[in-house]
Amino acid sequence: MWNFSDSVHLTYLQQTLNHYRRMACNPQQDVSAELEAYRRLLPDV
């Protein structure tokens, strides 16, 4: 499992979620599945 008490893991997952949030601003790119998956993984972000 991802270890949410490990700052390296958390940083990586948050960066990844933010990356997909930025990509989602472009309507030509469908990253809804990625966003949903990482949001579910990081429910408090």
**Contact set with other proteins (CB under 8 A):** 1-3, 6, 8-9, 11-12, 15-16, 33-34, 37-38, 41
Q: Nearer to other proteins by C-beta: 27 or 40?
A: 40
Cα distance between residue 28 and residue 23, in whole Å: 9
What does the block give as tokens for 27? 């309507």
- Nearest distance in Å: CB 22, other proteins: 14
CA separation, residue 21 to residues 1, 9, 29 (Å): 23, 18, 11
- The minimum distance between CB 27 and other proteins, in angstroms, equals 19
